Amino acid sequence: MTSEAKQHVVLCEGFDDRSFWKGWLLHLGCTDPSNGGTKAVNDVFGHPVKGEGRFLFRTSAGSDVVVKPFGGRANAARPVEEYLGGHQIYRPDRVVLNLDCDDAIDATASAEDQVRTIARGLGAAGDGRGPFEIDGSRLYAVLWECGDPDPTPGVPRKQTLERLVTAAIRAAAPDRGPAVEHWLNAEPQGLRLPKSFGYSYFAKWYSDHGEGHFYESLWQDEAVVRELEERLRSSGAWQTVEKLVQD
């Protein structure tokens, strides 16, 4: 690892989040040295990046961003401890813990509380969404949320990636929200989970990209990107990630 090149790690809940991060990082100027997973790649420490659903991206400064899904909020502490706990020789410079804001484990713990608890368990002090300083590394929170009116047709109420994305799509194309709402309310009724909303937009307007690439493909829609940036800036997430890719 050179004095300039660093490793940053994004820990996200699932594969849809990973797809969204891929599109976002590429939009911000990162590159994919694996060429979509067709080439074996090593990180800046010389370690192969493979398995555990990990993706590797490279910033213009030559640093690495490893994106790793961990399978839901209940599992969030473990991957953070794997990277920042103990006395690891190969420590990332920045770790971003990405959670749904309102996918609470219980009725009393917010996502921000959860990140703070994890950080304090590793000996860090701090409030809000970071940075939390941990033995020379920094931990940040990026939480999916948006301040659009509630209720909004075609947008789920729970603060998740799906709410952020569907609110941006609906703002870019206002007629789509009511169409999705009508579809979900039509008989025979099915589920109304946040994913039900997200994949309804996928099925009607983005299915040419394939299910696994839906959240990534949104970053190729300029009107949607403008709306995403507005919401991500409002939560502070855009600024956190913009600094990460410049480092």
Q: How many whole angstroms separate alpha carbon 8 and alpha carbon 247? A: 9
Tell me the one-letter amino acid at 31: T
Between 88 and 231, residue with greater pLDDT: 231
Residues in the chain: 247
State which of 18-27, 87-96, 112-121, 200-209 shows the largest mean pLDDT.
Answer: 18-27
Q: Is the dihedral of CA 157, 163, 167, 169 positive or negative?
A: negative
Cβ–Cβ under 8 Å, residues 70 and 78: yes
Q: How many whole angstroms separate alpha carbon 222 and alpha carbon 243? A: 22
51-73 pLDDT per residue, tens: 889 999 999 999 999 999 999 99
Q: How confident is the model at residue 103 (pLDDT cuts 50, 70, 90)?
A: low
Q: How many whole angstroms separate alpha carbon 117 and alpha carbon 110? A: 11
Q: What is the pLDDT of residue 4?
A: 67
Query: In 108-214, which ranges are E strands?
Result: 132-134, 137-144
Average pLDDT over residues 5-29: 96
Between 167 and 106, residue with greater pLDDT: 167
Would you call 14 exposed, middle or buried from its count of C-beta atoms within 10 A (0-12, 13-18, 19+)?
A: middle
DSSP 3-state of 61: coil
Q: What is the pLDDT of residue 211?
A: 77
Q: What is the pLDDT of residue 37?
A: 85
Please state, in angstroms and as integers, the Cα–Cα distance from residue 81 to each residue in 53, 63, 87, following that order: 18, 22, 11
Q: What is the pLDDT of residue 126?
A: 78
Q: Which domains does the chain have, with CATH numbers?
A: 7-144+233-246 (3.40.50.10620)
Average pLDDT over residues 2-17: 87
Has residue 3 got a pLDDT over 70? no
151-196 pLDDT per residue, tens: 999 999 999 999 999 999 999 999 999 999 999 999 999 989 999 9
Instruction: Give 199-206's long-range contacts (Cβ < 8 A, gap of 24+).
Output: 200/154, 201/154, 201/165, 201/166, 201/169, 201/176, 204/176, 204/179, 204/180, 205/169, 205/173, 205/176
